[in-house]
Amino acid sequence: MLDEMNEVQADLAQLIRLALAEQTEDVRLFVARLVRKYRNTDPELAEQMDLYLRAKASRTSAPMRKVVSPAPSTQPLPVDDESRLSLLKVFKDEPDREQPLLAPDLEETLSQLIQERRQIKRLASMGLNPTRSAIFVGPPGVGKTLTARWLASQLGMPLYVLDLTAVMSSLLGRSGSNLRAALDFAKQSPCVLLLDEIDAIAKRRSDDTDVGELKRLVTVILQEVDEWPATGVLLAATNHAELIDPALWRRFDLVINFKAPEIPAVKQAIKRFLGPDYAMFGRWIDILTFTFNGESFSDIERDLQRFRRAIALGTASDADLIEELVKSRALALERQSRIDLAVLLAKQTRLSQHSISDITGVSRDTIRKYTNEQPAAAKKTSKGKLNA
């Protein structure tokens, strides 16, 4: 027993020595020897080492060998070898999650995807597979991650999110095995796997010297998209469609475009994000919609959450908040939009033309011209304050 321990210790010491000297090739050979050595005395350890070895070897020798994985329940979440941080974020949501705000065409595409899963047997009886993979493309904060989460909840599956920026920031030599570990884990049981910020690989490729390693990472993903089991769904998300390898692009069953919300969606978003406080802000809806137009859902949500906190604590009135918001946005607008905003403010608030002119930078003459008003002084009473 003591002898055996000493031998394990000696092997460990040798392994550490080689690893710290960054003699990767020697580490690999040594581990291969250890796999053979421990196969009989400690099959579990041998198997584990073999897995690591194959993940490592697969990057130098395409085509990849399939890893035989143990049963799902026995498998813990994969972690980064060095930091021990979990590689995957897990979401297990109830199916009653609120649906994200989605453009009509997008909603249709997703509902088809859900139907396919609900009627998977019917499809199978006709020799058809359900959609297995999709890539979400769009600017930040418009609901890509949120939709992945909702979709998983609708399918009654857990969502695992693999942030590729995090994978890529691990030592380059480890990115490959980290990626493999996460993919292998996700393939074992029905789930939705989201490869978030998949452009991280491409970005890294353009400013890194180790091009070979990155190509192999792309190869790993290419192959996975092709072979993803129909029991699960593989999703990817990116802000940068232009950075995605065309070969990768082609392999997804679906390309789903997320866009910044348009006017009706902005309006809906304002209603949703204000929740019970909508009653109070309802009268500003046109001004809010105008001001938030062109912004992402998450930016809109952030401002409205701030409003709600201020109202809850009584630190500002709704009119103050609106005025401050409009001020912060107005000067960045194009001239015509500033005029439109000025007109809207003139019609829907009791701000004086003087204040509106201050806020929007549009002259009082122009405001008068557009609102077809007499140059009257009737609105002077509540100068400087919004007060509907």
List of residues contacting ligand ATP (CB under 6 A):
100-102, 138, 140-146, 239, 297-298, 301
Q: How crowded is residue 271: how many other Cβ atoms within 10 Å of its Cβ?
A: 16
> Where are the alpha helices (H) located in the chain, listed in sequence order?
2-20, 24-38, 43-57, 104-118, 120-125, 144-155, 164-169, 172-187, 199-206, 211-227, 246-251, 263-274, 278-281, 285-292, 297-313, 318-330, 335-348, 353-360, 364-371
Is 165 or 293 the residue whose CB approaches Mg ion more closely?
Answer: 165
Q: Can you tell me the distance from the alpha carbon of 87 to that of 101, in angstroms, rounded to the nearest whole number?
A: 29
Q: CB neighbours (10 Å) of residue 108?
A: 11
Judged by beta carbon, residue 135 or residue 346, the one nearer Mg ion is 135
Residues 316-335, mask of contacts with Mg ion (x by CB under 5 A): --------------------
141 interacts with, out of Mg ion, ligand ATP, none, CB within 5 to 8 A per kind: ligand ATP
Q: Annotate 110-141 with three-state secondary structure.
A: HHHHHHHHHCHHHHHHCCCCCCCEEEEECCCC
Among Mg ion, ligand ATP, none, residue 78 binds (CB under 5-8 Å by kind): none
CB of 200 to ligand ATP, least distance (A): 12
Q: DSSP string spanning 331-374?
A: TTS-HHHHHHHHHHHHHHS---HHHHHHHH---HHHHHHHHT--
To Mg ion, the closest distance from the beta carbon of 166 in angstroms equals 13
The rounded distance, in Å, linking the Cα atoms of 93 and 110 is 17
Q: To the nearest whole angstrom, how small is the minimum distance from the Cβ of residue 189 to ligand ATP?
A: 24
Report the partner that residue 292 touches, choosing among ligand ATP, Mg ion, none (CB closer than 5 to 8 A by kind): none
349 near Mg ion, rule: CB under 5 A: no
Taking the complex as a whole, the smallest distance from the CB of residue 165 to ligand ATP amounts, in Å, to: 10
Q: Which stretch binds Mg ion (CB under 5 A): 42-50, 87-95, 136-144, 282-290?
A: 136-144
Q: Which is nearer to ligand ATP, 52 or 91 (CB)?
A: 91
Q: Which stretch binds Mg ion (CB under 5 A): 75-83, 141-149, 198-206, 373-381?
A: 141-149
**Exposure string for 110-125, b = 16+ CB within 10 A, e = fewer:** beebbebbeeeeebee
Total binding residues toward Mg ion, as defined by CB under 5 A = 2
From Mg ion, ligand ATP, none, interface partner of 301 (C-beta below 5 to 8 A by class): ligand ATP
- For the CB of residue 161, give the shortest distance to ligand ATP in the complex, in Å: 10
Instruction: Pick between residue 142 and residue 183 the one whose CB is nearest to ligand ATP.
Output: 142
Find the shortest distance in angstroms from Cβ 236 to ligand ATP.
12
User: Which SS3 state, helix, strand or coil, does residue 238 take?
Assistant: strand
321 binds, among ligand ATP, Mg ion, none (CB under 5 to 8 A by kind): none
Nearer to Mg ion (CB atom), residue 145 or residue 170: 145
Q: Which residues contact 153 (CB under 8 A, 6 or more apart)?
A: 93, 94, 95, 97, 159
Query: Do 232 and 186 meet the contact criterion of CB atoms below 8 Å apart?
Result: yes
Q: How far is the CB of 330 from ligand ATP (least distance, A)?
A: 24
Smallest CA-to-CA distance from 326 within 337, 310, 312 is with 337
Instruction: State which residue has the least CB distance to ligand ATP.
Output: 143
Task: Say which entry of Mg ion, ligand ATP, none residue 297 contacts (CB below 5 to 8 A, set by partner kind).
Answer: ligand ATP
Q: Which residues of 296-331 are buried (b: 16+ CB within 10 A; e: fewer)?
A: bbeebbebbeebbebbeeeebebbebbbebbeebbe
145 lies in the site for Mg ion, by CB under 5 A: yes
Looking at the Cβ atoms of 277 and 301, the one nearer to ligand ATP is 301
Determine the Cα–Cα distance for residues 256 and 207; give it in Å rounded to an integer. 28
In the list ligand ATP, Mg ion, none, the entry touching 366 (Cβ below 5 to 8 angstroms by class) is none
Q: Which is nearer to ligand ATP, 133 or 352 (CB)?
A: 133
Binding site for Mg ion (CB under 5 A): 144-145
